[in-house]
Structure 1
Amino acid sequence: MLYRPGGKGSNPPPAVNSDGQNTWVEESGAYVHPSVYIRDPDSGIDEKEFYFWDLNGYVVVPGVMDEEWLALANEAVDKFQDRVEVGAELSGGSKSQAGTGRPLRSGLLDLPDPYNEPFRRMIAHPAIIQRLNWMGGSGYRTGGATVFCAVEGTSGHSLHDGNEPQSPSRGYDFKNGRSFCETVTITWQLREVEPELGGFACVPGSHKTQFPMPPGIRTCDDTMGLVVQPTMKAGDVLFFMDGGCTHGALA
């Protein structure tokens, strides 16, 4: 159905909005995309957070999940560990990141009750909606919910993506005080992410590069000191520019 301003059931659907505490649907059909150039106390923009995001291509929001929520999510993962599937080895020929395939458990939103509940809570959480609205504007959709169950010996994932060449459907741009990120990946940390123990890694600022990635960066065999693995606590949430920021995982 073609979009009709103010028309219910039209495409795009009404915007999802948040004040950081609650989430709701804008019945007016208004488009939500705050700008840092407009000093609006209701925009939900933390200017230091926006700066970190625009500069680095990722941001970590601490302590979104409480202990009870974490316990329920980890219980659900443990309950269905027999459904974990080992995927491909993703190190891309790296010497330093080689290992076994990555264990995955998809379909978290479709687990039987009550085990789906801790993951369904993530979809429209106020901390998520508020940031997605300034990161790329309202009107987004969610992809599949998957848990990565890496163990000792699991391979890293060769670094990929970046803004050169830019993919219009997955890239990043900044115009008129607004972040336009076409693809944002959100990862919820169910366990502690300690230094040198593997996990998400990226090249901060690579969403603004104008030069192709050197092979040593891709494999992490020669990082040039540019690859960063953010440390995180259980309950933290990581946002990153999936198509813009060069990223992958360390073994």
Structure 2
Amino acid sequence: MFQTEFLININAVDQFSRKEELLPAVTKYRKIKFAKMGDTSSDMMNHEQRYLFDMTGYLHIEGAVTGEKLKSVQEAAERYIYCHPNQRPPGFEPRGQELSVEELGNRPLIRYQHGFAFDRCLEELTVNPSIWPILKELTSDMPRLVSGTLSYEQYDPDRPPVEKNPAGLHCAREGRYWYTRYEVKNGRIFCNDLVFFFYLTDVNPGDGGLIVIPGSHKSEFDRPEGLLKPGPDGIDPESNPVFTNLTPKAGDFLCISELLTHGVLRWKPKDRSRQFLILRYRPQYEGKVSLPQVIIDRLTPEIQELVSAASYGHTKEIVKQDAITLNY
């Protein structure tokens, strides 16, 4: 059974409690774990997942991929990261300018386009059984995979300080307010802008990485511009109980609504990199297919259908399945 973990900022949650029940000002966190309906017998989220995703705006799914399967995924990602430009399949390259062989895996931040399609084991992650029921429900059984980027980050000694908004807090509401949606109807959640991060390497407490403001996906107010203040290094924000730093391990998924306010702390380890896939999903009827044909052509029939656009109400064959087996 997969385990789903929620790290809840008690101070943030208890703002909804009676004043006499509020906890002291000291920041406290509670980890809540429970077995996920990931045994392929269910095609829906369970009650605890709905409740806690609705409360916090994110899910942490532990141990989705382990053992030899995890090793295969990590090795496939490494092959893409360090692949010589002359040996890359068509359509695969770092985002932005081309890198020299010496720069591959040797820059502070590199985004490798279409990482999910580089190898079959990476492609399988897009419909991993730990996330498939969640993905179907949150898109009202009309999912479309928009993109899947492989991200590589390492310590940057030359990162400049910032004057405002340390950690780069942002959310979909700030850029396309009327377009993004988060709704609950008939006991199910609908969200039209989702991100699933699959982690290839460990993130330990104190390493840095993703931060979120739990519950902000349902905020009715604009984020105050000076909510977080730069800390002593001028890069990361001062410690503040309003945000939570999520620390997944290799093989874990983090699922967030893009409406959730989130940002990134500076990556601090000098001997380890942060590697993860960024899988973006939206409803099938919103927008056109965003992947180049050369990438689509190399996908399995199941994932070709997943990335395809379709009309509202159309049921893809892949959605009729509780568990997906790719044919290759």
Structure-2-length-normalised TM-score? 0.54
> How far did residue 43 of structure 1 move?
5.2
Determine the structure 2 residue equivalent to 1:103.
110
Q: 1:241 to 1:158 in 2, by over 3 A?
A: same
Residue type of the alignment partner of 2:148: A
Please tell me whether residue 129 in structure 1 is matched to residue 132 in structure 2: yes
SS of match in other structure, 2:148: coil
Aligned counterpart for 2:144 among listed residues 141, 146, 171: 141
Unpaired segments ≥5 residues, structure 2: 1-36, 84-92, 98-106, 160-165, 230-235, 267-328
State how 1:163-202 maps to structure 2 within 5 Å. 163=173, 167-202=177-212
| Distance in structure 2 (CA, Å) of the matches to 1:177 and 1:166 | 26
Paired residues, number: 199
> How far did residue 110 of structure 1 move?
3.7
Unpaired segments ≥5 residues, structure 1: 1-18, 23-40, 89-99
| Distance in structure 2 (CA, Å) of the matches to 1:87 and 1:195 | 31
| Distance in structure 2 (CA, Å) of the matches to 1:246 and 1:123 | 23
Aligned counterpart for 2:254 among listed residues 233, 238, 246: 238
> How far did residue 238 of structure 1 move?
0.8
Determine the structure 1 residue equivalent to 2:50.
50
Deviates more, 1:165-174 or 1:138-147: 165-174
Deviates more, 1:122-131 or 1:153-162: 153-162
Give 1 or 2: higher helix fraction: 2
| Aligned residues of 1:201 and 1:230 also touching (Cα < 8 A) | yes
SS of match in other structure, 1:179: strand
| Aligned residues of 2:167 and 2:237 also touching (Cα < 8 A) | no
| Aligned residues of 1:164 and 1:209 also touching (Cα < 8 A) | no
| Distance in structure 2 (CA, Å) of the matches to 1:165 and 1:80 | 31
SS of match in other structure, 1:76: helix
> How far did residue 142 of structure 1 move?
0.4
Q: 1:65 to 1:43 in 2, by over 3 A?
A: closer
Question: Percent identity of the aligned residues?
Answer: 25
| Aligned residues of 2:42 and 2:133 also touching (Cα < 8 A) | no
> How far did residue 190 of structure 1 move?
0.9
> How far did residue 164 of structure 1 move?
6.9
Q: 1:188 to 1:42 in 2, by over 3 A?
A: closer
| Distance in structure 1 (CA, Å) of the matches to 2:188 and 2:38 | 19
Q: 1:67 to 1:87 in 2, by over 3 A?
A: farther
| Aligned residues of 1:86 and 1:102 also touching (Cα < 8 A) | no
Residue type of the alignment partner of 1:44: M
Determine the structure 2 residue equivalent to 1:96.
none
| Aligned residues of 2:108 and 2:155 also touching (Cα < 8 A) | no
CA deviations on 1:222-241 (whole Å, 9 max, x unpaired) are: 56421111121211111100
SS of match in other structure, 1:160: coil
| Distance in structure 1 (CA, Å) of the matches to 2:175 and 2:200 | 34
> How far did residue 140 of structure 1 move?
1.4
Residue type of the alignment partner of 2:50: F
| Aligned residues of 1:49 and 1:59 also touching (Cα < 8 A) | yes
| Distance in structure 2 (CA, Å) of the matches to 1:140 and 1:167 | 21
| Aligned residues of 1:200 and 1:230 also touching (Cα < 8 A) | yes
State how 1:144-159 maps to structure 2 within 5 Å. 144-153=147-156, 158-159=168-169
> How far did residue 137 of structure 1 move?
1.1
| Aligned residues of 1:64 and 1:237 also touching (Cα < 8 A) | yes
> How far did residue 126 of structure 1 move?
2.3
SS of match in other structure, 2:68: helix
Please tell me whether residue 60 in structure 1 is matched to residue 60 in structure 2: yes
| Aligned residues of 1:63 and 1:236 also touching (Cα < 8 A) | yes
Residue type of the alignment partner of 2:110: P
| Distance in structure 2 (CA, Å) of the matches to 1:162 and 1:217 | 17
| Aligned residues of 1:199 and 1:229 also touching (Cα < 8 A) | yes
Which one has a bigger Cα radius of gyration?
A: 2
